[in-house]
């Protein structure tokens, strides 16, 4: 009888440990899923190197102007520092702020 009692306790202990392990894994999976980037992000920071090897930083954000949300970029790149309002894709903006031949003075408003 005592041997049966020990086996029951061991089985109960193993069942409990298994349940706790699965609960911890489920919680971890849920917390990781909550860190996924969504479509509601309003600020992005891009940084890297231009084709010529020079470093750039590009900060994209939304600001409300006259009740309408609009996209802006702050940049620090080989062509200087500044801010610009633009609907351009970040890839295009990187090209604009890294390339002198982009005629950037017309596309990027320097401060």
User: Per residue in 48-64, pLDDT tens?
Assistant: 999 999 999 999 999 99
Reported as type and span, the H/E element at residue 4 is: helix 2-33
pTM above 0.75, yes or no: no
User: Closest Cα partner for 72 from 43, 104, 97?
Assistant: 43
Q: Where residue 100 falls among pLDDT bands split at 50, 70, 90?
A: confident
The answer to whether 93 touches 75, Cβ cutoff 8 Å, is: yes
Mean pLDDT score, 2-25: 60
Give the integer Cα–Cα distance in Å for 29 and 6.
35
Give the integer Cα–Cα distance in Å for 14 and 22.
12
């Amino acid at each position: 009888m005592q041997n049966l009692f020990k086996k029951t306790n061991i089985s109960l202990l193993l069942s409990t440990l298994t349940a706790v392990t699965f609960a911890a894994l489920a919680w971890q999976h849920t917390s990781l899923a909550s860190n996924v980037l969504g479509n509601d992000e309003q600020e992005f920071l891009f940084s890297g190197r231009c084709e010529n090897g020079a470093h750039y930083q590009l900060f994209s954000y939304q600001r409300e102007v006259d009740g309408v949300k609009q996209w802006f970029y702050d940049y620090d790149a080989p062509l200087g520092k500044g801010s610009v309002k633009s609907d351009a894709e970040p890839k295009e903006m990187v090209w604009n702020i890294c390339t002198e031949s982009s005629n950037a003075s017309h596309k990027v408003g320097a401060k």
